[in-house]
Structure 1
Amino acid sequence: MAPNGLFDLRRVWRAASYSVSGLKTALANEAAFRQEMTLFVLLAPLGLWLGRDGVERSLLVGSLVLVLVVELLNSAIEAAVNRIGNEPHELSGRAKDIASAAVFLSLLLVALVWVLVLFDRFG
């Protein structure tokens, strides 16, 4: 099979190694990502335990994973904007604020999902 085929395992391996490198970089350099990862480590097992079925478990844990994904994107946007320059610029500020708002909304989603699922279970 050609190396550029659908099942090019070398490409998959390289992509996975880049992803692991990105996670390590975020953990080493991004305080917000470390905080949200701590939240995930604490709450994910609780979500798996509290969820009554696969749907509830996936909502509880999946909302936590979404926060990590959005924070990684936020950090990437901030790094790219900072690479362009440190001088204040309206568009740089706008990009950072919008990315931060995405993180905020993902955290609100966690709260909403957990309240709704747990209220349905215990309320």
Structure 2
Amino acid sequence: MKKKYNLFKNASYALQGILTLLKERAFQLELLFIIPLLALLFFLDLSALQKSIMAASLIFILITEALNTAVEYTVDLVTDEWHEFAKRAKDTASAAVFFSLVQAAVIWGINLFLS
């Protein structure tokens, strides 16, 4: 039997996930930088395309942090003992966040200093 799709129930799951992320220190720190940068975009003399790309690069940081947090919770659920594969999973997910930060810095640098 196929399960019925419930938009409101699924949205409530997403909201619970956002509330969970808001309790995470790394996510809080990223928001501390990202929210003012998003606001700054309104005052920059750049094209709409440039601003959109710059905003997307910041949102991508939050997306990768959410996935990193999900990996960490999953690994912690599976084992509370140190394991090389658990470390690799967490480190790899953390590397994704790092890459998203570098990408955003490059995009902002190109648009602010080379435009």
C-alpha distance 100-51 of structure 1, shift in aligned 2 (>3 A): farther
TM-score (structure 1 length as normaliser)? 0.85
Amino acid at match of 1:16: A
What is the match of residue 22 of structure 2? 27
What is the match of residue 13 of structure 1? 8
Runs of 4+ in 1 over 4 A off after TM superposition: none
RMSD: 1.6
1:68-83 matches, within 5 Å, as 68-83=62-77
Task: Identify the structure with bigger relative contact order (alpha carbons < 8 Å, sequence gap 6+).
Answer: 2
1:34-45 matches, within 5 Å, as 34-45=28-39
- How far residue 83 of structure 1 moved from its aligned partner, in angstroms, is 0.6
Q: Does 1:46 align with 2:46?
A: no
**Structure 2: segments with no counterpart, 5+ residues:** none
Aligned positions, number: 113
C-alpha distance 14-51 of structure 1, shift in aligned 2 (>3 A): farther
| Matched-pair identity in % | 37
**Structure 1: segments with no counterpart, 5+ residues:** none
TM-score (structure 2 length as normaliser)? 0.91
Question: How far does the alpha carbon of each residue in 1:83-113 deviate from its partner, in whole angstroms, 9 at most, with x for none?
Answer: 1111111110000000000000000011000
Question: How far does the alpha carbon of each residue in 1:48-71 deviate from its partner, in whole angstroms, 9 at most, with x for none?
Answer: 332522211111111000000000
